[in-house]
Structure 1
Amino acid sequence: MAEHPDVRLLRTALGALNAGDLDACLGCIHPDFLINLAGVAQQLVGRDIWLAGVEQLRAAFPDVRLDIEDIFAADGRVAVRNTIRGTHLGEFQGIAPTGRSIEVMSNEIYRVENGLIVEEWIVTDNATLFAQVTTS
């Protein structure tokens, strides 16, 4: 059975992100990309906001990788369960580098229209992430 085109789009975008090819990743995202983050009251808008967040993450965890655990699509939406892995080698949210490895789960839903990712809803296990970079 052929893979759903929206799943292929997300695999392409996440693969580019893992490879550090942010231009290729941006090519998969609509210019007016809508960002919905758990714990953030206001919706964020635009690829530039997305890029700033990714650059901040990559500065703190230069080897960051999002490994797809589950992915499926229906009705213009793609659900992805990722494991985020990396090493804390740069400042993150005011926390000095620890050299510790992180491994956290992120559940994400993406809305796709006309071959571009137009919106995301991200729920990342930030409690585990912060515990991994602050606990001895």
Structure 2
Amino acid sequence: MTIPLSTPQSNIALMRTAFAAFGRKDADVVVDLMPPDFLINIAGVPYQKKGTATWRKHAALIFSAFPDLQVRIEEIFAAEDKVAVRLRITGTHAGEFLGIQPTGRKVDYESTEIYRIADGKIAEEWICSDMLTLMAQIGGQGLSMGKLASMWLAGYRAWFALGLGVVLGALGTALASF
């Protein structure tokens, strides 16, 4: 039996089908779109995870923690065997998540994900979710949106100070040569 080659368009259609099923919390449909040796790469996790059983366990954790989870594809594009997806994820923190008890708080964050398609199946994923924003929204690890904003602004202050120092140094050098 010859397996037809996938195209970027067919790979995008496959991922849209998977995300629609995920949005319905239909893990069985998603798992049917994966080979048994599915590979999972998550930003910040120092090792690769494997298998549809592991994926199913992660999905159950998300569905339990955020039972009203909504996943919206903001952008999706493909090249060769890869599909890139930028998602907006919303929901309510109504179950334990990463050791944090339910807070009832609303979450709204982004995730950037890349998928590799092989033989018409979703063979591998690379997930890079904005966990800092998510954890700040549910109040994890002493984070708050105010603290997150402060950290963001502190980064700009450092760049501003560096730029000001460079400009003043150049100006001082130019004036000294007169």
Task: Please indicate the TM-score interval, normalised by the length of the shorter structure.
Answer: over 0.9
Q: Using the alignment, how far apart are the partners of 1:20 and 1:93 within structure 2?
A: 20
Equivalent residue of 2:108, what SS? strand
Count of aligned pairs between the two proteins: 134
5+ long unaligned stretches in structure 1: none
Displaced runs of 4+ in structure 1, greater than 2 A?
none
Q: Using the alignment, how far apart are the partners of 1:51 and 1:106 within structure 2?
A: 19
Q: Which has the higher strand share?
A: 1
Q: Using the alignment, how far apart are the partners of 1:66 and 1:35 within structure 2?
A: 19
Equivalent residue of 1:48, what SS? helix
Q: 1:71 aligned to 2:76?
A: yes
Q: 1:94 aligned to 2:99?
A: yes
* Residues 1-136 of structure 1: pairs in structure 2 closer than 5 A: 4-134=9-139, 135=144
Equivalent residue of 1:40, what SS? coil
Larger Rg: 2
Q: Using the alignment, how far apart are the partners of 1:127 and 1:46 within structure 2?
A: 27
Letter in 2 for 1:106: S
Equivalent residue of 1:31, what SS? coil
Equivalent residue of 1:70, what SS? strand
1:78 Cα deviation from its structure 2 partner: 0.2
1:131 Cα deviation from its structure 2 partner: 0.2
- Aligned-residue CA RMSD in angstroms? 1.2
Larger relative contact order (CA 8 Å, sep ≥ 6):
1
Return the TM-score normalized by structure 1. 0.95
1:33 Cα deviation from its structure 2 partner: 0.5
Q: Deviations over 1:40-83 (max 9, x none)?
A: 01000000101100100111001112110000111100000001
